[in-house]
Amino acid sequence: MSSLALQLLRRLAVLAITLAIGLVVVPRLLTQLGVMGPTVDEEIAGASRAVEAARSYGAQDGQVPFDAARKELQSARELAERKHGHEARWAARRARASAVEAQRYALAARDERRRRAGQIVNEVDKMINGLEDIYSEVTPGLDRETVSRLLSLMKGARQTGAGLFLAYEQGNYDRVVDDEKGVREALRSVQQALQSAKDKRARS
């Protein structure tokens, strides 16, 4: 092959590589600059949807990524109103990125609350079963008034547990976690009453 043909092939190879790089880089660059792709308003709308999605997943004010997303979104809107399109576009993109992070954070937090709520429900169920065992053991032979009082306490314990179980089944994990302390205290009060009746019966 002649040197002229080799040079031509080399030039064609360089040109092909340059074109390939251009096809990859140029569209991305034009998109970044706003020449191609979504408009500023579309970027802001997309960021707004991402923020609302994060809120629907459980993101709250005070969480760093969610606060950052809301702040950047507000900044993007203000910049767009002042006709600073390039800056508004970048603020909207930062808002969207922070909103996605806030979504992940909220989902992780919700999963942790679900896990904790499930643990609470299981423990409360065991407590109620334990109360049922004590009630069945202590009531035979007791006077009617005492049995009626203990039965009323047991009904209250069952209702208290049922409210917690229903909240869990409905996915209201925050309520389960928030009500844990009160439910446990109520059940311990019933347990003390049953144990007191059991001890009194043992002494008689």
What would the pLDDT profile of 74-131 be if each residue is shown by its tens digit? 999 999 999 998 899 999 999 999 999 999 999 999 899 999 999 999 999 999 999 9
Short-list 31, 53, 27, 52, CA closest to 40: 31
Distance CA(140)–CA(81), nearest Å, equals: 79
- Total count of residues recorded for the chain: 204
Sign, Cα dihedral of 168, 171, 173, 174: negative
Task: Please tell me whether the overall predicted TM-score, pTM, comes out greater than 0.85 for this model.
Answer: no
Q: Residue 176 corresponds to which tokens in the numbers above?
A: 């389960």
Distance (Å, rounded) from C-alpha 189 to C-alpha 117? 22
Question: Would you call 191 helix, strand, or coil by DSSP?
Answer: helix
- pLDDT tens digit string along 128-150? 999 999 999 888 888 889 889 99
Look at residue 12 and give its three-state secondary structure: helix
Amino acid at 61: D
Interacting residues of 72 by C-beta distance below 8 A, sequence separation 6+: 47, 91, 92, 94, 95, 98
Residues contacting 86, CB < 8 A, separation 6+: 33, 34
Question: At 30, is the pLDDT very low, low, confident or very high (cuts 50, 70, 90)?
Answer: very low
Q: In 10 A of CB 103, how many CB atoms?
A: 22
pLDDT band at residue 18 under the 50/70/90 scheme: low
- pLDDT score for 35: 47
